[in-house]
Structure 1
Amino acid sequence: MKDTERRILLGRVAGAFGVRGELKLESWTEPRSAIFRYQPWILRSPSGQESTLSGVRGRDSGKHLVATFPGIEDRDTVEAMRGTEIFVARSALPPPRPDEYYWVDLEGLDVRTVEGVSLGQVSHLFSTGANDVLVARGDRERMIPFVLPDFVRSVDFEANLVVVDWDPEF
């Protein structure tokens, strides 16, 4: 899928907030309120139906992100939206700073050791709290701390390659 068509999952509807149609959101942006900067949203309901939405407003209430969707004014409508995923087009995100990466941009890159041994491709990444972890799938799955330059030596998008300092037997 081209970058302009690629979708990034930014969050989901967690439920209702009050009785006037406001929604509680989970956001995976940093900071979490940054989710409101990236619009239009592509909403995918738990049943798989999709729609596009612009003009979402929101605030951080401390415990929750609270949003107002245009045209949503009652709690029952919001409760029916529980679990709806919030996507944006990859092109809606700003370019990352040097030595920073959107995880989705790394997915699918080849992973090789500094010695040239193939470990497969980047399947996904996840956070442990202490550091991020790159998951490479090839002949088997390997979890490599995404720590520059200790374990991840380089990322080269033109070569479609991540070079890691990692023992292939580990």
Structure 2
Amino acid sequence: MAAAGRRVLVGRIVGLYGVQGWLKIESWTEPRTQIFRYQPWQLETAPGEMREIDGVSGRPQGKGLICHLPGVEDRDAAAALVGQDIHVARELLPPPAKDEYYWVDLEGLEVVTTEGVSLGRVSHLFATGANDVVVVRDGARERLIPFVQGTYVRSVDLSDGRMVVDWDPEF
């Protein structure tokens, strides 16, 4: 599955900083300051509506991060952005290491068992602390499969759009 045109959620605007339009942000990049290298940002202004912003500057401040967006010059303009998710184009991210995957690249893959039984498609993933979990949907049926490579996830083939799992289709 091609990554072109896909967006990756990398952070969120979480608060205001000062009176000159600066914002507090939460970053999910590693290291967290890497979020400033991935530009332009795409802010989700409403469900399905994106606003592209280039030229974002920012820095660590205390235990968090702050940023300034071009054209946002006062606290009122900044307040309108609080709560918006920060996305970047998938192609801006570095290639993952061998046997590592960006979640966005796994979404939409067909999931089949080692016996060839189709379980559906990857809807999304979530972290539990112990391991990530793949949510596989087939119509109204939903399966939660731990993303443990070698144990449950036997192979991932992004070019063929398929993930093979060792999983009981009845579970």
Shared fold per TM-score greater than 0.5: yes
Cα offset, 1:32, TM superposition: 2.5
Counterparts of 1:9 and 1:40, CA distance in 2? 13
Number of the residue aligned with 2:12: 12
Number of the residue aligned with 2:90: 90
Supply the AA of the counterpart residue of 1:28. Answer: W
Q: How many residues align?
A: 170
Counterparts of 1:92 and 1:123, CA distance in 2? 23
RMSD (CA atoms): 1.9
Counterparts of 1:97 and 1:116, CA distance in 2? 27
Supply the AA of the counterpart residue of 1:126. Answer: F
- Please give the TM-score of this superposition, normalised by the length of structure 1: 0.90
Distance 1:13 1:107, change over 3 A: same
Cα offset, 1:2, TM superposition: 5.5
CA deviation string 1:71-100 (max 9, x = no partner): 323211111111222221111111111101
The runs of 5 or more residues in structure 1 that have no matched partner are none
Contact 1:46 1:83 in 2 (8 A): no
Is 2:27 the counterpart of 1:27? yes
The runs of 5 or more residues in structure 2 that have no matched partner are none
Cα offset, 1:69, TM superposition: 1.5
Contact 1:11 1:26 in 2 (8 A): yes
- Please give the TM-score of this superposition, normalised by the length of structure 2: 0.89
Contact 2:6 2:104 in 1 (8 A): no
